[in-house]
Amino acid sequence: MTTLTVAIIGRPNVGKSTLFNRLAGRRLAIVHDQPGVTRDRRFADGRLGDMALRIVDTAGLEEAPADALEGRMRQQTERALAEADVALMLIDARAGVTPLDEHFAQILRVSPTPVIVVANKCEGRAGQGGLMDAYGLGLGDPVPLSAEHGDGLALLYEALLPHEQALAARADAAPGGAGAEAPDPETAEMHDEAGDDGVSPLEARALANAEDDDADPDAPPAEADDTAPPRPLNLAIVGRPNTGKSTLVNRLLDEDRLLTGPEAGVTRDAIAIDWSHRGRPIRLVDTAGLRRKGRVVESLEKLSVADTLNAIRMAEVVVLVMDANMVMDKQDLSIARMVVEEGRALVLAVNKWDAAENRAAVLKRMRDRLETSLTQARGIRFVTLSALRGRNLDRLMDAALEAHEVWNRRVATGRLNRWLTGMTEAHPPPMGQHGRRVRLRYMTQAKARPPTFAVFCSRAEDLPDSYVRYLVNGLRETFGFEGVPVRLYLRKSR
């Protein structure tokens, strides 16, 4: 088994100890100061999913006299770095990037140890600005995390995985070395809906098997070469009770007849089902509809917001199933908004089309509602279908795959900036408070899944929301970001 040594680095108060404790978990009992090692460096064995970690924490420098702080921190950091396979540089996303953070980034930039920037305290919205700032550190894509709430551990796992694999490869290459295979977090089996310390299902995906040391023997090993099969698309099917979710899931699986693995049956604890649609691996996540079948209370069940939100968070693409004779009612809309707010791609399934009383009226209502009530993501795909009769299921899956492609799409920085110039020339930003124009200097796509852009400008506070909408709608039209949330953040340029 490979053990990855991870150093947790950053200025005081960014959450190093909190992350240390979270990664060390129950094994915290064995944390100890090693003899001969300074007191303000702690070590612990920890785990993240199936990954064994040795964690080096550099917290505890607050007691140092202020004038000596910088020098000691540098020394401390350099020592921790020398011992580590990879460094996690924490920033406090709520506070943004401070001069002291920059100071740490400088040390890390010249260090041979690879670095992952972690934007901690990212729960809720308050961390978004700091997360964007963190891109500016020049140390690669930051990982948004909440050490306190335990959110984002799956992303941290994914960021650490290549380092673990590199370490395993080095161990293999060394004489007598034994490498370890790291199961891919996306393909590893899921046995656990939520860990006992309140992790979300998304985290559970990475943390599945955390307590049992033998990784699932059926889980395929990770593959680094490009002959590896594409990752499954994580699809959730949600909607009000009785709209036909179970019928749809059963029909989809039945049509394709390509169930794999023992978990494909309707077992009580199955929360993911893998199947393949025209050669494309699909993973149905949190198939509440299926699980419910075993329960007596089925018909009495009300829409559970928590269940729905869980399913949404585990998915990349969410299919919202509606009843054609009751499309886009209040509950449908609130689920749809949840999907968009959570940053997922949304596809609307207008089910029971066979039984629709007035098809023209249904279509009109769909279009009206999309235009007036779901403006956060224009161009949302909708498909009319009959789960019962198996009609239009291919079109539904095509829409899901398409939405997934758009959700993952990236636009090159050069193209974006030529586009930005065109947009500001066609329609210059209005004058700011002091008669000076807001200048949009530069933009970049900070990330995909969903597409997220950062625009660097002077006087961000003076740019009206209407101008931001103009840019977002322009991005959608020009680059085809239809039907997925598009996020745009304004950053002050230095």
- Site residues (CB under 6 A) for ligand GDP? 10, 12-18, 59, 120-121, 123, 146-149, 239, 241-247, 289, 351-352, 354-355, 386-388
Task: Map residue 112 onto helix, strand or coil.
Answer: coil
Segments in 84-123 forming alpha helices (H): 99-109
Residue 354 Cβ vs ligand GDP, minimum distance, rounded to whole Å: 5
Whether residue 463 contacts residue 457, with contact meaning beta carbons closer than 8 Å, is answered with yes
Residue 73 or 182: the one with the smaller Cβ distance to ligand GDP is: 73
Q: What are phi and psi of 157, to 5 degrees?
A: -55, -50
Residue 76 or 247: the one with the smaller Cβ distance to ligand GDP is: 247
Ligand-binding site membership of 408 (annotated): no
Whether the link from the prior residue into 114 is cis, omega within 30° of 0, is no
Distances (CA, A) of 248 to 289, 322, 339, 395, 437: 9, 11, 19, 13, 53
Ligand-binding site membership of 334 (annotated): no
Residue 387 Cβ vs ligand GDP, minimum distance, rounded to whole Å: 4
Residue 149 or 205: the one with the smaller Cβ distance to ligand GDP is: 149
Unique residue bearing structure tokens 């999907």:
339
Residue 18 or 445: the one with the smaller Cβ distance to ligand GDP is: 18
Cα separation, 369 vs 247, whole angstroms: 26
Residue 335 or 440: the one with the smaller Cβ distance to ligand GDP is: 335
Task: Map residue 490 onto helix, strand or coil.
Answer: strand
Residue 398 Cβ vs ligand GDP, minimum distance, rounded to whole Å: 18
Sign of the CA dihedral running 24, 27, 32, 34: negative
Ligand-binding site membership of 354 (annotated): yes
Ligand-binding site membership of 209 (annotated): no
Whether residue 209 contacts residue 215, with contact meaning beta carbons closer than 8 Å, is answered with yes
Residue 246 or 445: the one with the smaller Cβ distance to ligand GDP is: 246
Unique residue bearing structure tokens 């949330």:
485
Residue 110 Cβ vs ligand GDP, minimum distance, rounded to whole Å: 22
Both tokens assigned to 94: 């709520």
Residue 77 or 247: the one with the smaller Cβ distance to ligand GDP is: 247
Residue 143 Cβ vs ligand GDP, minimum distance, rounded to whole Å: 12
Residue 421 Cβ vs ligand GDP, minimum distance, rounded to whole Å: 38
Ligand-binding site membership of 10 (annotated): yes
Residue 209 or 351: the one with the smaller Cβ distance to ligand GDP is: 351
Ligand-binding site membership of 241 (annotated): yes
Cα separation, 11 vs 329, whole angstroms: 49
Ligand-binding site membership of 287 (annotated): yes
End-to-end CA gap in the chain: 46
Both tokens assigned to 483: 């039907």
Ligand-binding site membership of 25 (annotated): no
Cα separation, 144 vs 122, whole angstroms: 6
Whether residue 97 contacts residue 110, with contact meaning beta carbons closer than 8 Å, is answered with no
Residue 303 or 488: the one with the smaller Cβ distance to ligand GDP is: 303
Whether residue 348 contacts residue 336, with contact meaning beta carbons closer than 8 Å, is answered with yes
Distances (CA, A) of 192 to 74, 143, 298, 490: 41, 24, 23, 39
The answer for residues whose C-beta is within 8 angstroms of residue 342's C-beta and 6 or more apart is: 309, 312, 313
Residue 147 or 315: the one with the smaller Cβ distance to ligand GDP is: 147
Quote the radius of gyration of the chain (alpha carbons, Å).
25
Ligand-binding site membership of 234 (annotated): no
Residue 11 or 47: the one with the smaller Cβ distance to ligand GDP is: 11
Ligand-binding site membership of 245 (annotated): yes
Pairing of strands 143-144, 115-120: parallel
CA angle 223, 225, 230 (to 5 degrees): 65
The answer for residues whose C-beta is within 8 angstroms of residue 439's C-beta and 6 or more apart is: 429, 457, 458, 459
Cα separation, 246 vs 292, whole angstroms: 9
Residue 5, strand partner residues:
54
Both tokens assigned to 397: 């899956």
Residue 10 Cβ vs ligand GDP, minimum distance, rounded to whole Å: 6
Nearest alpha carbon to residue 205 among 280, 321, 311: 311
Residue 282 Cβ vs ligand GDP, minimum distance, rounded to whole Å: 18
Binding-site residues: 10-17, 57-61, 120-123, 239-246, 286-290, 351-354
In the annotated binding site for GTP, the residues are 10-17, 57-61, 120-123, 239-246, 286-290, 351-354
